[in-house]
Amino acid sequence: MGSMRKDYVSERFVIVSQNEEQNEESKKCPFCPGNESMTNPSLLSLVAKDGMLQRLQDSEDNYVKDWTVRVFESKVPAVSVSAENSYSDRPLYSEPAYGYHYVVVASERHKDSLSTISSEQWSNILVVIQDRLRWLYTQRGVTYVSIYINHGKDAGSAVSHPHINMVTFSTIPPLIEQEAEASHRIVNEKGACPLCQTVNTETGGPRQVLQTEGFLAFCPWAPSYPYEFWICPKKHTTSFSKITQKEINDLSLILRATLGGLTTSLKNVSYNLAFHLSPEKKNSRQIHWHIEVYPLTAAWSGLERGYGIFLNSIPPEKAAEQLGAACRKELAGLVGII
Ligand SMILES: [Zn+2]
Ligand SMILES: [Zn+2]
Ligand SMILES: [Zn+2]
């Protein structure tokens, strides 16, 4: 399997793997009900029965049917627990790309998307993710769990059936490390969490997109991508793994409303979404957790690729106005006030 190589000089990680492209000979969607044998057996199949949600699991030759959310190990994993145990030091730094790569199929219906499913279904998905997240953090070699969505071809999604990825790492990803370091420094200097301050600044301001009881969605002051927005708990919390069912329901509502608003406003644009959670290891630096959504409306130029400086032709204030109108409409439809 793959290895994690580090750049000669910087802390940039690259996973080099030799996953062969998934066999495209079959036109069948591997994530659709009836095609369960095309994926690895499920680790968790959520089945709604008599108004209750059952957590079941495939056994040998017996696939759980009538699921509404299904989790299994990816057949084209970015990391693997069978990664070869080989290490080397700088300048040719390499470590095994060790970890778990789960796929969470978000609906039994192929034509659904994460911006059209009900907010109740979003709750089901988040409950399953929270369950897997807690389990993964009890496993050896898991230092960090990333949770992300690729929607659309431009976003790196090979399968159009709605799904979410969970990939673990034995180190903390560089972007999380940077956010945690910077956050820690600011807390020490100013005595307050920078994201708590951001929530204060952005609530009711020109970049607010939407708010619910416990969450705020806003376009950040310095967005890397046009129409980029973040969803942030208003209350200081360091990880999604600890939030309550009530908070999950509230988060489902704002996720569904904002993703719905995004896709109606920008005509089913491709996007990536990433959960930024604190590492859960003892003594690791913490962040106020949040979700970042990156719509992909334009290709990168040499400035982004070559220098890490982002050109954004849509001011976040304008983006927030447009997204805000669309998201408020979605929210009204969801909670039944039209
Ligand atoms: Zn499908
Ligand atoms: Zn905070
Ligand atoms: Zn972040």
pLDDT tens string 24-49: 556 899 999 999 999 999 999 999 88
CATH class of 20-75+99-171: alpha beta
245 alpha carbon to ligand 1 midpoint, in Å?
Answer: 28
Question: Which ligand has the minimum distance to the alpha carbon of residue 195?
Answer: 2
Q: What is the pLDDT of residues 177-200, one digit of tens each?
A: 999 999 999 999 999 999 999 999
Tokens encoding 312: 């954004």
Whole-number pLDDT of residue 153: 85
CA distance 222 to 205: 15
How far from 235 is each of 26, 69, 288, CA to CA, in Å?
A: 48, 29, 9
| Domain parsing of the chain, residue ranges | 20-75+99-171, 177-338
Q: Give the residue from 226, 251, 230 showing the smallest Cα distance to 240.
A: 251
Whole-number pLDDT of residue 2: 86
35 alpha carbon to ligand 1 midpoint, in Å?
Answer: 9
Question: Which ligand has the minimum distance to the alpha carbon of residue 287?
Answer: 2
* Percent of the chain topping pLDDT 70: 97
Whole-number pLDDT of residue 338: 52
Pair 314, 226: CB distance under 8 Å: yes
Whole-number pLDDT of residue 75: 92
142 has pLDDT over 80? yes
Taking residues 230-250, report their average pLDDT: 96
Question: Which ligand has the minimum distance to the alpha carbon of residue 111?
Answer: 1
How far from 248 is each of 17, 260, 265, CA to CA, in Å?
A: 35, 18, 25
337 has pLDDT over 70? no
pLDDT: is 208 or 336 the higher one? 208
- Residue written as token pair 């970042």: 292
Question: Which ligand has the minimum distance to the alpha carbon of residue 32?
Answer: 1
CA distance 109 to 122: 14
Q: What is the pLDDT of residues 294-322, one digit of tens each?
A: 999 999 999 999 999 999 999 999 999 99
Question: Which ligand has the minimum distance to the alpha carbon of residue 180?
Answer: 3
Confidence band of 263 (pLDDT split at 50, 70, 90): very high
229 alpha carbon to ligand 3 midpoint, in Å?
Answer: 11
Can 20-75+99-171 and 177-338 be said to share one CATH topology? yes
Whole-number pLDDT of residue 45: 96
236 alpha carbon to ligand 2 midpoint, in Å?
Answer: 4
181 alpha carbon to ligand 2 midpoint, in Å?
Answer: 14
Question: Which ligand has the minimum distance to the alpha carbon of residue 292?
Answer: 3
22 has pLDDT over 80? no
20 has pLDDT over 80? no
Pair 287, 238: CB distance under 8 Å: yes
CATH topology of domain 177-338: HIT family, subunit A (3.30.428)
252 alpha carbon to ligand 2 midpoint, in Å?
Answer: 20
Whole-number pLDDT of residue 84: 78
Contact residues for 64 (Cβ-Cβ < 8 A; gap 6+): 36, 42, 45, 47, 56, 57, 58, 70
Question: Which ligand has the minimum distance to the alpha carbon of residue 183?
Answer: 2
Whole-number pLDDT of residue 311: 95
DSSP 140-171: TT-SEEEEEEEESGGGT-S--S-EEEEEEESS
175 alpha carbon to ligand 2 midpoint, in Å?
Answer: 18
Question: Which ligand has the minimum distance to the alpha carbon of residue 231?
Answer: 3
160 alpha carbon to ligand 1 midpoint, in Å?
Answer: 7
